[in-house]
């Protein structure tokens, strides 16, 4: 293998989001590589297999290196396609994150099957890392807040419309509003329409995160660790006051932990 020395027993972890698919290859606890590509809802198992092979080969890895896999999908029709990709091209049956999977934590939620796969995975990761209490803020298609209490039990969360959804709705509904990129605003007071929108989105979402985290900590009754993840975390978190750190690999780590708990 070019460039990467692995044990030959590499775990494929796949996080299928509504906007992006993030996947990685773990050799034991070591993340060898990870990749992102745009999620296309109509992708077939063959197309996913081709994307997987091509992206891996760019980093000197091959399909033959992948001996096991676990898949978390917030897009229902893509979970069976990814499963078929694993059967057809990797020669094994993957684990699909869903109800009935061993999480290693108490889930204090009336209907656990309602909890999105990505939220469950993130909660496993923060519980392992911090014990509790802890809050994960995931900047995906929605901004998800998931909460672990002092006993390490999953309590529930908060969902707010995501940054990209809000921006898209704003620019589609307001015909004269330009599409913008999210570079940091020079000041809170915008001196142009573009600057005003940047300020509203970046400072607005930073304030949303800070305000909700303060309320969540108030409800928990104690100080808790706060970790952010997801595609746009890096744009918003620098302007927050309550988030302790950003971990872009949190969901992939949670998938690795879940795989270990369901294969022993």
Residues 6+ apart with CB under 8 A from 199: 185, 187, 188, 189, 190
Domains and CATH numbers, the chain: 10-96 (3.30.420.40), 131-254 (3.30.420.40)
Identify the bridge partners of residue 143 per DSSP, sorted by sequence position: 139, 160
Residues marked as catalytic:
118
Cβ proximity of 140 and 18 under 8 Å: yes
> How would you write the pLDDT of the chain (264 residues) with one tens digit per residue?
444 555 568 999 999 998 889 999 999 999 999 999 999 999 999 999 999 999 999 888 889 889 999 999 999 999 999 999 999 999 999 999 988 889 989 999 988 888 888 999 999 999 999 998 999 999 988 999 999 999 999 999 999 999 988 888 887 776 666 667 788 888 999 998 889 989 999 999 999 999 999 999 999 998 999 999 998 899 999 999 999 999 999 999 999 999 999 987
pTM for the complete prediction?
Answer: 0.90
């Amino acid at each position: 293998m070019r460039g990467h020395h692995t044990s030959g027993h590499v775990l494929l972890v796949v996080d299928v989001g509504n906007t992006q698919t993030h996947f990685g290859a773990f050799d034991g606890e070591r993340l060898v590589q990870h990749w992102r590509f745009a999620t296309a809802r109509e992708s077939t198992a063959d197309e996913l297999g081709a994307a997987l092979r091509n992206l891996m080969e760019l980093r000197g890895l091959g399909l033959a290196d992948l001996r096991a896999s676990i898949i978390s999908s917030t897009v229902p029709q893509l979970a069976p396609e990814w499963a078929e990709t694993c059967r057809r091209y990797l020669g094994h049956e993957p684990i699909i994150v869903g109800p009935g999977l061993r999480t290693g934590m108490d889930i204090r939620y009336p209907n656990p099957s309602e909890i999105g796969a990505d939220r469950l995975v993130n909660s496993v990761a923060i519980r392992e890392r911090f014990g509790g209490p802890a809050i994960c803020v995931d900047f995906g298609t929605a901004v998800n807040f998931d909460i672990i209490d002092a006993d390490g039990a999953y309590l529930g969360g908060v969902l707010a419309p995501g940054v990209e959804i809000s921006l898209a709705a704003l620019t589609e509904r307001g015909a004269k509003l330009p599409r913008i990129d999210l570079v940091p605003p020079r000041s809170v007071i915008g001196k142009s329409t573009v600057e005003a929108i940047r300020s509203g989105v970046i400072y607005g979402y930073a304030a949303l995160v800070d305000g909700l985290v303060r309320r969540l900590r108030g409800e928990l009754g104690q100080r808790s660790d706060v970790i952010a993840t997801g595609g746009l975390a890096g744009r918003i978190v620098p302007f927050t006051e309550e988030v302790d750190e950003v971990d872009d690999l949190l969901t992939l780590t949670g998938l690795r932990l879940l795989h270990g708990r369901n294969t022993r």
